[in-house]
């Protein structure tokens, strides 16, 4: 009798530690993230070569987001093929310098009430284009009131995309964002922030995609005294070169079965080769 009582409880515990991952959707959003590195005119005309060609039909009604103070940028548009508003944020143009100079200063985060702190630079970057993002989303939502919503970004853009999630959720009348996948994301905030993000119901499908020995996903450090932490749902690809699309799903934000288990995490090429693409080359061609 005791065993019968325990079985449903154990089943619930197991199911709570799993999450759904759609690889085809992740690859689609990776292409949108890559397109964010392209110049404004290419994006607005949706004529950016390889990145634009990866999603059939492309985007219409593209709105470019930009602030010159920190060179913060992104874009949004309507993806007719999936009836979705796509919001994508660009990473830094000079990834090597950004990795070397990343700071660890924290600042208070106003959207949670338990003392959350986040990376000051990432949050400031987001706030540079927040108002443009809000007005752009309102415009697209008015035109496409029943469409799905996808959010994505790579590298620094991945960190910015995490800050966009709760804001877009509120603008979407507290309706869940359909998909939030980002690529090579650094840690965004402290443990209280990660716990707060995990406790929310912002997104239906979400996850941080990581690749091999990508160093960015280990920054800023988790150890004392820095103590930054990832939020949940990691999809770890050991190598797109040798193992293709073989991956491991880790429910928790920090798990040695995924990127935390990589002992030597110094491969910038892994940071710039998600889904086997040459991100640097393709970004340079569409500048």
Instruction: Give the β-pairing of 117-119 and 106-108.
Output: antiparallel
Peptide bond between residue 94 and the one before it cis (omega within 30 degrees of 0): no
Name, in order, each residue with C-beta under 8 angstroms of 13's C-beta and a sequence gap of 6 or more.
none
Condensed to tens digits (0 to 9), the pLDDT of residues 221-265 reads 999 889 999 999 999 999 998 888 999 999 999 999 999 999 999
* Cβ atoms of residues 199 and 191 within 8 Å: no
Distance (Å, whole) CA 220 – CA 285:
30
pLDDT in tens, 65-110: 998 777 889 999 999 999 999 999 999 876 655 665 567 899 999 9
Specify the pLDDT at position 3: 38
* Cα–Cα distance, 106 to 101 (Å, whole number): 15
Q: Which residues contact 156 (CB under 8 A, 6 or more apart)?
A: 89, 90, 91, 92, 98, 122, 125, 186
pLDDT tens digits for 116-125?
999 999 999 9
8 A C-beta contact, residue 262 and residue 250: no
Is pLDDT above 70 for 5? no
Given a cut of 70, is residue 12 above it in pLDDT? Answer: no
Tell me the pLDDT tens digit for each residue of 177-210: 999 999 999 999 999 999 999 999 999 999 999 9
State residue 2's pLDDT score.
37
- Domain segments of the chain as ranges: 19-285
- Sign, CA dihedral 118-70-132-161, equals negative
Instruction: Report residue 230: phi and psi, to 5°.
Output: -80, 150
pTM of the model: 0.92
Q: With H, G, I as helix, E, B as strand and everything else as coil, classify residue 176.
A: coil
pLDDT for position 178: 98
Task: Supply the Cα-derived Rg of the chain in whole angstroms.
Answer: 18
What pLDDT, in 10s, does the model give residues 113-170? Answer: 999 999 999 999 999 999 999 999 999 999 999 999 999 999 999 999 999 999 999 9
**What pLDDT is recorded for position 72?**
86
Separation in Å, CA 91 to CA 34, 157, 160, 193: 9, 4, 9, 22
Is the torsion defined by CA of 21, 49, 163, 275 positive or negative?
A: positive
Average pLDDT over residues 36-54: 96
pLDDT score of 7: 36
The CATH fold assigned to 19-285 is Rossmann fold (3.40.50)
Q: What's the chain's average pLDDT?
A: 91
For residues 87 and 168, the answer to whether their CB atoms sit within 8 Å is yes
Q: How many CA atoms lie within 13 A of 108 on its CB side?
A: 5
Indicate whether 279 pLDDT > 80: yes
Are residues 195 and 285 in contact, defined by beta-carbon separation less than 8 angstroms?
no
When pLDDT is cut at 50, 70 and 90, the band that residue 9 belongs to is very low
DSSP state of 175: P
């Amino acid at each position: 009798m005791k065993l019968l009582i325990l079985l449903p409880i154990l089943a619930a515990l197991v199911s709570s530690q799993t999450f759904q991952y759609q690889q085809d959707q992740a690859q689609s959003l990776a292409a949108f993230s890559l397109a964010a590195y392209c110049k404004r005119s290419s994006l607005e005309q949706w004529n950016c070569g390889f990145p634009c060609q990866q999603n059939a039909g492309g985007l219409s009604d593209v709105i470019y987001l930009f602030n010159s103070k920190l060179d913060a940028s992104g874009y949004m548009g309507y993806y007719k093929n999936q009836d979705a508003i796509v919001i994508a944020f660009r990473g830094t143009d000079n990834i090597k310098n950004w990795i070397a100079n990343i700071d660890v200063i924290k600042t208070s985060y106003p959207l949670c009430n338990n003392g959350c702190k986040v990376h000051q630079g990432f949050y400031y970057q987001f706030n540079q284009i927040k108002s443009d993002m809000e007005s752009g989303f309102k415009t697209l939502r008015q035109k496409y009131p029943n469409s799905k919503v996808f959010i994505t970004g790579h590298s620094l853009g991945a960190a910015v995309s995490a800050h966009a999630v709760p804001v877009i959720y509120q603008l979407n009348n507290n309706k869940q964002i359909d998909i939030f996948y980002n690529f090579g994301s650094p840690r965004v905030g402290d443990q209280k922030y990660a716990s707060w993000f995990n406790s929310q119901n912002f997104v239906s499908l979400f996850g941080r995609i990581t690749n091999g020995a990508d160093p960015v996903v280990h920054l800023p450090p988790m150890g004392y005294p820095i103590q930054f932490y990832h939020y949940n749902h990691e999809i770890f690809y050991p190598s797109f070169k040798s193992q293709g699309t073989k991956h491991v799903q880790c429910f928790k934000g920090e798990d040695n079965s995924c990127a935390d288990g990589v002992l030597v995490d110094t491969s910038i090429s892994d940071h710039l080769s998600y889904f086997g693409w040459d991100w640097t080359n393709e970004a340079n061609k569409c500048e």
